[in-house]
Amino acid sequence: MSRKARTQRLQAEDRRYLWHPFTQQRDWVKTAPLIIERGDGVYLEDTNGRRYLDGTSSIWVNLHGHRKGALDRALAAQLTRIAHTTLLGLANVPAIELAKRLVGLAPRGLTRVFYSDNGSTAVEVALKMAFQYWRLQGGAARSKTKFLHLGQAYHGDTLGAVGVGGIPIFHERFKPLLRPSFEAHVPYCYRCPLGLTFPQCQLACADSVEEILTHHHGKIAALIVEPMLLAAGGMITMPPGYLTRLRRLCTRYRVLLIADEVATGFGRTGRMFACEHEGVTPDLMAVSKGLTGGYLPLAATLTTEKIYRAFLGRYDEFKTFFHGHSYTGNPLGCAVALANLDVFEKERTLDRLQPKIAALTRLLKPLRDHPHVGDIRQIGFVAGIELVRNRATKAPYPLSERLGMQVADEARRLGLLIRPLGNVIVLMPPLSTTMRELRQMAGIAAQAIRAVT
């Protein structure tokens, strides 16, 4: 069978059997789906043999490129031992070793690791831990059963995570299934909800967090936040000092701080974890995505010794954290995650990333004068380019025009795979991207934006 015939067969079977995530299937079944079969470095190859630059790290998970030898070997070596064994009543070597490594890398004070399967489940673990922690304190603390989140926040798609989400198009329809939570202003400087300008605003957007905590801290178990970057909300970067203020407010009002580092962890923002930019230690921290370098689904929730010890008691006291997954602490995932961390260390990934971060800033600078580019937001090796119909008024393009998707389609034609967030064009390349590849990615993205707008 020829490549073309095989591709057409697979496309027909995809349209017949698959249901894709975050995809309007009515439109999808009218298309010829792009089917990826191979990967090499920052390139993906389809079933027809055409190669594309992976401009979003296969949705924010790949770090060191596809088919990274060190990760391939770690996975193969673990397969000669065991693929999976439960952590319920047993332990395994990679899970133990990875937990120790994570504690050594995490913000100081996070000392315990609880494994799960993906970002949403890591967030669910953090929410349930925070809730049960206050229940175990007894007295008035048992009333701390609700959560506080930011507008435009995204923390996953399981119901607990959706309950602390703030993106109406994703979360509004599920409200009847959710527990009520508190929502504070989003720190969105380009579209400030208060109509102010940084730094003259003096972080007025954080005042809404303080106001909610002042009046409701007795009911609030935790504030959950993506540190420094609200990713799925539109690559919204936090103004300097905002995260520090949240930490101080949570400490003052005896509310736990949950850092959702699922998208921001493992080098994306130029530091191993985004909390490091302001020296913040959360009470709980959720990680996933880059944990295995983009190889296998694995997640972890890290917490403090104080929270961990609150769950200790006699068997019949039932202080146990009754939560777990069949694949919790999967040895294959943990072995690859260990190799991933080895690569960071041996190849000095974060040090070598800094010139590329500066280069990305330079490469995107010409777009700042484009009449339909309203804002370019960047932190580390992550950039969001917000397209607008009218630059003077900041009027957005109607979502019905699918402008972001048009840009993505044009970029794909030119050899770059990206996926927009509405009208925000996202670039989140693998950390291993070379300067030449980075120039190609930025150049194609700019060319696609100009062609479409």
What is the arithmetic mean of pLDDT over 160-176?
Answer: 94
Q: Are 277 and 206 part of one and the same domain?
A: yes
User: With the C-alpha atoms ordered 369, 373, 374, 375, is the resulting torsion angle positive or negative?
Assistant: negative
Q: Is 196 helix (H, G, I), strand (E, B) or coil?
A: coil
Instruction: Tell me, yes or no, whether 126 lies in a domain.
Output: yes
Q: Are 54 and 161 part of one and the same domain?
A: no
Q: Are 342 and 352 part of one and the same domain?
A: no
Answer whether residue 1 shows pLDDT above 90.
Answer: no
Q: Which amino acid is at 286?
A: A
Answer whether residue 453 shows pLDDT above 90.
Answer: yes
> Among residues 322, 346, 370, which one ends one of the domains?
346
Render pLDDT for 66-122 as a digit per residue (tens, 0 to 9): 999 999 999 999 999 999 999 999 999 999 999 999 999 999 999 999 999 999 999
Q: Is 225 helix (H, G, I), strand (E, B) or coil?
A: strand
Q: Are 187 and 206 part of one and the same domain?
A: yes
Q: Are 279 and 362 part of one and the same domain?
A: no
What is the arithmetic mean of pLDDT over 29-44?
Answer: 96
Q: Are 295 and 310 part of one and the same domain?
A: yes
Written as six digits, the tokens of 281 are 């230690």
Domain that holds residue 364: 34-64+348-452
**DSSP result, 346-405:** HTTHHHHHHHHHHHHHHHHGGGGG-TTEEEEEEETTEEEEEEEEETTTTEEPPGGG-HHH
> Among residues 323, 346, 369, which one ends one of the domains?
346
Instruction: Tell me, yes or no, whether 397 lies in a domain.
Output: yes
pLDDT given at position 359:
98
Render pLDDT for 328-384 as a digit per residue (tens, 0 to 9): 999 999 999 999 999 999 999 999 999 999 999 999 999 999 999 999 999 999 999
Q: Which residues contact 6 (CB under 8 A, 6 or more apart)?
A: 47
> Among residues 281, 315, 346, which one ends one of the domains?
346
Answer whether residue 308 shows pLDDT above 90.
Answer: yes
Q: Are 307 and 375 part of one and the same domain?
A: no
Instruction: Tell me the CATH number at 423.
Output: 3.90.1150.10
pTM assigned to the model = 0.97
Cα-based distances in Å from 209 to 232, 282, 304, 409: 21, 16, 23, 39
Instruction: Tell me, yes or no, whether 417 lies in a domain.
Output: yes
What is the arithmetic mean of pLDDT over 163-175?
Answer: 93
Q: Are 252 and 292 part of one and the same domain?
A: yes
Instruction: Tell me the CATH number at 126.
Output: 3.40.640.10
Instruction: Tell me, yes or no, whether 403 lies in a domain.
Output: yes
Render pLDDT for 219-266 as a digit per residue (tens, 0 to 9): 999 999 999 999 999 999 999 999 999 999 999 999 999 999 999 999
**CA pair distance 165, 171, nearest whole angstrom:** 6
